[in-house]
Amino acid sequence: MAIKDYAKKMIEQDPVIREIADKKETLWINNRYLPFEMTDALCQLIVTDDDISDAARRLAKFAPYIRKCFPETEPTGGLIESPLAKISNMQAELINTCNAAIPGQLFLKMDSHLAIAGSVKARGGIYEVLKHAEDLALAEGMITEDDNYERFADDDMKEFFGRYTVQVGSTGNLGLSIGIMSAFLGFKVKVHMSADAKQWKKDMLRSKGVDVIEYADDYSKAVAEGRRMSDEDPMSYFVDDEYSVPLFLGYAVAAERLKGQLEDEGITVDADHPLIVYVPAGVGGAPGGVCYGLKRLFKDNVHVFFTEPTMVPSVLLGFASDRYNEVNVADFGLSGMSEADGLACASPSGFVTRIDRNLVSGDFTISDGKLYDFMRMLKKTEDILIEPSSCAAFIGPVNLMQKEQGLRYLSEQGLDETKLANSTQICWATGGRLVPDEIWDKYMNTYIEE
Ligand SMILES: *Cc1c(COP(=O)(O)O)cnc(C)c1O
């Protein structure tokens, strides 16, 4: 694979980018990270606090409908929300086996177990589908703002949505989320799947009446083709993972909910009690929205890192090159292939890499083999199963203080030993609940030599 000229220059000038081109695990610290106050005005020109509150309100309005149709959401009153679990055994094991220093308390945000879609995509994806359904129903007079949204379960509503199509391009989990929710509402659904998508995800969607279209190409191609086909059909709506603001808002709502959970745990987040969060990134939408929401609430007291496979660090490169979506990991000689199907996006979202350019603290890369090792470790120590893509999050606490760049960041941010001892670290588990048993067996027995 020929390395592009701009990439060559970056590789020569930056040792971290050289490590990336050498397919090594690394930690990139954001050279344009800014104090929150300096980002506030510009960010709010694009996505405001009101936009996020509006999304939270809309989800609350749909809660009676979700609760009625998906009894698994009964405990959360129809909100699609996941537990925050303290994982001290995993923390101890990581410290032991990886020689890591992990101060503070380690938690797992279990979006792996979110209702309906079993992944973080249940936030953004389902929000966008619900918003689209509401927009159509309001425009055509099927509902009014004051109606109880349980009405969306009525037969005439399903018939109404049956006239419309929803389409999406996906490596798997977004397709599951959009597909399951849209089909449930009554929409016709087409999911354009990239080559990385796992067979069981395609099978599950087909079993729900979703039209799955397969591509031999990568994710960007599946998205481009889906977008084109949808644009040709006036009755079709395309959920655009590379540009979508509604998706982003659905993810951003997570922050407010997490804040409540931290309060319930009696955890303080302030200058002396920092919050450090690690979120696996594919195209950047989910981690980008979560990061945005967290920064708006916790400002400089939260430090958000993304994590990506060594072969597909597209969001990292979109940031580091300042080329945003105009980057492909192939430009750096990387295959873009990974066992982490949820993260295998060769080019990042232009929207997210721009809006989060000054907010993200950094980005870790992780080799595929470790995904499975961490998966087995979490199962052994905490009896929790999350899919390999999700396990990318653990490289954060493991490497933050083992990498020179990480130590420098902590020192520049004034995060001394005392503050770190008081810190809360959260690994964001992004998927897993829908994985079939036979696939778990396969995962548990997968070992990759580095
Ligand atoms: C989609 C996904 C991510 C990352 O989300 P992006 O919006 O693509 O960045 C992380 N983990 C899993 C399991 C996913 O499915």
Q: Which among 175, 171, 350 has a CA at the least distance from the CA of 245?
A: 350
Nearest atom in ligand 1 to 241's CA = 7
User: What letter represents residue 43's amino acid?
Assistant: C
Distance of CA 140 from the midpoint of ligand 1 (Å):
34
User: Judging by beta carbons within 10 Å of its beta carbon (0-12, 13-18, 19+), is residue 55 exposed, middle or buried?
Assistant: buried
Task: Kindly report, residue by residue over 381-425, the tens digit of the pLDDT.
Answer: 999 999 999 999 999 999 999 999 999 999 999 999 999 999 999
Q: Which CATH architecture has domain 5-117+248-444?
A: 3-Layer(aba) Sandwich (3.40)
- Residue 325 CB less than 6 A away from ligand 1: no
In whole angstroms, give the CA distance from residue 443 to residue 450.
17
Structure tokens at 344: 């295998």
Distance of CA 280 from the midpoint of ligand 1 (Å):
6
Pocket test for ligand 1, best of 173, 200, 244, 355 (most atoms within 8 A of CB): 173
pLDDT beneath 70, residues of the chain? none
DSSP letter at 444 equals H
- Residue 286 CB less than 6 A away from ligand 1: yes
In whole angstroms, give the CA distance from residue 442 to residue 386.
13
- Residue 328 CB less than 6 A away from ligand 1: no
pLDDT of residue 372: 98
**What's the CATH number of domain 121-241, 3.30.70.270, 3.30.70.1400, 3.40.50.300, 3.40.50.1100?**
3.40.50.1100
pLDDT of residue 219: 79
Nearest atom in ligand 1 to 431's CA = 13
Q: Which among 236, 230, 231, 193 has a CA at the least distance from the CA of 211?
A: 193
CA-angle at 167, arms to 163 and 171, nearest 5°: 155
- Residue 121 CB less than 6 A away from ligand 1: yes
Residue nearest (by alpha carbon) to ligand 1 atom 11: 430
Distances (CA, A) of 313 to 210, 265, 365, 403: 31, 34, 7, 18
Distance of CA 285 from the midpoint of ligand 1 (Å):
8
- Residue 104 CB less than 6 A away from ligand 1: no
Distance of CA 396 from the midpoint of ligand 1 (Å):
16
Pocket test for ligand 1, best of 109, 119, 339 (most atoms within 8 A of CB): 119
Q: What is the domain partition of the chain in residue ranges?
A: 5-117+248-444, 121-241
Structure tokens at 26: 């690394």
Distance of CA 309 from the midpoint of ligand 1 (Å):
12
In whole angstroms, give the CA distance from residue 263 to residue 110.
17
Distance of CA 417 from the midpoint of ligand 1 (Å):
32
DSSP letter at 4 equals P
* The two domains 5-117+248-444 and 121-241 share their CATH topology (first three levels equal): yes
User: Judging by beta carbons within 10 Å of its beta carbon (0-12, 13-18, 19+), is residue 365 exposed, middle or buried?
Assistant: buried
In whole angstroms, give the CA distance from residue 108 to residue 342.
18
Contact 314, 347 (CB under 8 A): yes
